[in-house]
Amino acid sequence: MEITNKDIQQIKDEWNKQGSKYASDVNAMVEFGETKGWENWKGEEPRDGRGHLADTLFQLLKDANKNNTVSQFRTDFPPAHTPLVQLMKEKGQSIMQLQFINEQKIVFVTGAPYEQRQAYILDNNDILELDTSIAAVGKSKQNNVFAIAANNIISTTQGWEGDIIATFQLDETKNIGITELIPFNDGLKILLVSSDGIYVISNTGENMIHPLPDPEDDEWEPYMDMENATLSNDNKYIVVGDQCYDHRVLDNNGKEIAEIGTQSSYPDFCLFSKDDKQLITNSCHFYNGITIGVATSDFESINIPAYEGGEDCITIEDGMRVYCGVSTSEFYILGDAFGYIKAVDTKGNCIWKHFLGSTITGITISEDEKTLWIGAASGMLHKLQLNQGLRDNHTIGTANHYEDFRIIFWKEEPVLKW
């Protein structure tokens, strides 16, 4: 059915009227709940009634991409998450392993570890599809070392597409889905995270450092859920955890130094501050969670019992189920299962929060800490210019960020810019 100009105007009016009201109502509710207590909120939860517009809007977005009128479309129809949820359920996919290259250029993959993946470069506004054999991409915490896994070989390079530092032929870890790939700063070792085990890959072999085998179980397998790990920026420490094991702090050879008891049900994320003075760990229950901070100087002596906390840790954030994050010179930026990104400092102060929608599955930030790219399970990649002013009145959150665009990577659909 042809969409007339009159139809478009009616859709535009409804989209904007409802969208701005919904954002305003959500922001007001959240402010009330967080300042006066959620137990005192007696109003109804705001509802976004634009779902019936989703199919038509998506067709208009396709037309705008074909006709090179995306900028005007973005002005007429500020992006939203909630009205498109049904389409996302059918077509969405995770966008993961976002790595900053330089200037306004990043690399990332679409698809979960167990799926056939596709890697892309996003360079300013240009999208480049990479070789289909690439299964994972990673970047070191320092020294600009990249790692690419393809055809059961991991190669490390000095800079993106730079000189090759080392190559590793995978044997024990071949054909497994890679959740995360973190090369060490010298490019001579790799921290490989998967649901089939967390490994340190080097020229001496593939050493599984987590989970710990059960010596009394002859049929023990290392399969995990919510597997997560990180390196300190100086590579002195490795931290590992998963749904069934507390976070463990190891030295860079894999020897255990400390254990950090889970404060919610399931350990699922860990990250060091940019100066390596603090480690944060998150554990979750359903869609909520608790993030605690531990001073790295206390690793040799800490005692943090499960669910009890103690004087050896502080609460950094007490609501988010965290899936990914980055450390900046001022704070952490964490992404959660509800679709929020939130900036919190090392003392637990919330600086800002910003809603994008769906589970946040990947984050990277530019070297000057002015541009943030965020991937979500919605199949959308968002590019934000931090603290550059809101672009529209449909934004949910307390931040003041300008969204350059979001790019939609949906299954069996063309890549679309919004």
208 and 164 Cβ atoms separated by less than 8 Å: no
Residue type, 302: I
Pair of tokens at residue 385: 């210019």
Structural contact between residues 79 and 339, judged by C-beta atoms closer than 8 angstroms: no
| Residue with tokens 């003392």, as numbered in its chain | 347
Q: What are the beta bridge partners of residue 365? A: 372
Task: Please provide residue 389's backbone torsions phi and psi, each rounded to the nearest 5 degrees.
Answer: 95, 145
Q: Is 7 helix (H, G, I), strand (E, B) or coil?
A: helix
Tokens 């934000």 map to which residue?
384
Q: Which token pair is 209?
A: 């450092």
Quick one: tokens of 242?
A: 């998963």
Residues 211, 409: Cα–Cα separation, whole Å? 34
- Per DSSP, 116 falls in state -
Please give the structure tokens belonging to residue 95: 């966008």
Asked if 120 and 131 touch (Cβ cutoff 8 Å), the reply is no
Q: How many CB atoms lie within 10 A of CB 55?
A: 12
| Ranges under pLDDT 70 in the chain | 1
10-64 pLDDT, tens per residue? 999 999 999 999 999 999 999 999 999 999 999 999 999 999 999 999 999 999 9
Q: Among residues 402, 323, 317, 408, which one has the least CA distance to residue 359?
A: 323
Report pLDDT for 214.
Answer: 86
- Give the pLDDT score at 3: 84
- Spatial distance between the Cα atoms of 92 and 390, rounded to a whole number of angstroms: 26
Query: Could you give the CA distance from residue 200 to residue 205 in angstroms, rounded to a whole number?
Result: 8
Give the chain's domains with CATH numbers.
5-76 (no CATH), 86-327 (2.130.10.10)
Tokens of 140: 């070191």
The answer to whether the peptide bond before residue 267 is cis (omega within 30 degrees of 0) is no
How many C-beta neighbours within 10 Å does residue 230 have?
Answer: 25
Residue 299 to residue 232: CA distance in whole angstroms: 13
Give 98-151 pLDDT, tens digit per residue: 999 999 999 999 999 999 999 999 999 999 999 999 999 999 999 999 999 999
In contact, 374 and 351? CB cutoff 8 Å: no
Q: What is the pTM of this model?
A: 0.96
- 8 Å CB contact between 282 and 290: yes
Q: Phi and psi at residue 139, in whole multiples of 5°?
A: -140, 145
Q: Compute the distance between CA of residue 392 and CA of residue 390 in angstroms, rounded to an integer.
A: 6
Length of the chain: 418
pLDDT score of 136: 98
**Do residues 382 and 412 touch, judged by C-beta distance below 8 A?**
no
Give me the residue label for tokens 């005007």. 72
